[in-house]
Amino acid sequence: MRIAIVEDDPDQTELLTHWLRLAGHQTHVFERGAALMAAVLEHETFDALLLDWNLPEASGIEVLREVRERLRWRIPILFVTAHDHEPDVVSALNAGADDFLVKPVRRMELLARLEAVARRAGGFPVEGGVFDVGSFRVDHQMHLIVRNMQPLRLTPKDFDLAAVLLRNVGKLLSRRYLLETVWGATAPRLSRSLDTHVSRVRRELKLTPEHGWRLTAVYGYGYRLDQLTSLAPESREPDAS
């Protein structure tokens, strides 16, 4: 996952970033809520948000309310804070937080809770890495995508890209999000390659309107995969010959 962290304590930031990266996640750190808001308004995409309570300028609870009420951003949010009073916990949950962890944080609990809130939001593979969407079954453990009971032949990177798109149907994903999620640290020098991979995924998975899908490039931003109105079963489609 691509995770935003809003935390102004360098030691805490370093610890959280280390744990999350060891678990295979990408992290982006913001010391102030205003910096996060600016990134969101510039169409940055994240899978989850870790939020501290005590922040410069605006508190974490104020950032949370801004995210939920003004931006209507439905990202999974996990509070990670030293505030442990029951009214604070209740206040955060009522304002839209998905979970609440009290510092000092334990590594395995943090990862489990983070993955749980992301899974409930549909942003993390479930059931051993297998999920279904439309006529597709995506199996992360087998590194396989099956369409209408037929396995598809995909390169490893095409599989990773297709899995991200299918896991985020209806969401506008930034180019940076796709690059970092699929290619990780090598992403900055692969921007042009992304378009080639997207074209190949569109072709191999038949992500076109005649098959009930639309994979659209949004100029200056990224890509969006939408599932269209259900079509007749593909067995009824005219033979290409």
Q: How many domains does the chain have?
A: 2
148 in a domain, yes or no? Answer: no
Domain that holds residue 89: 2-120
CA 2 to chain centre: 6
**Tokens 């180019």 — which residue?**
175
Q: What does the mean pLDDT of the chain come to? A: 83
What does the pLDDT look like over 193-228, one tens digit per residue?
Answer: 888 999 999 999 999 999 999 999 988 788 999 998
- pTM higher than 0.85: no
Residue 241 lies in a domain: no
Q: What is the mean pLDDT of residues 108-133?
A: 75
> Over pLDDT 70: what percentage of the chain?
88
Domain end residue (candidates: 120, 136, 168): 120
Q: Half-sphere exposure (CA, 13 Å, Cβ side) for 127?
A: 7
User: Do residue 19 and residue 99 come from a single domain?
Assistant: yes
d(CA 52, CA 59): 8
Domain assignment of residue 8, yes or no? yes
Chain-centroid distance, C-alpha 41: 17
Question: Which tens digit of pLDDT belongs to each residue from 76-117?
Answer: 889 888 888 888 888 888 888 888 888 888 999 999 988 888
Residues 169 and 66 placed together within one structural domain of the fold: no
Contact between 206 and 228 under an 8 Å Cβ cutoff? The reply is no
CATH of the domain at 204: 1.10.10.10
What is the per-residue pLDDT for 186? 57
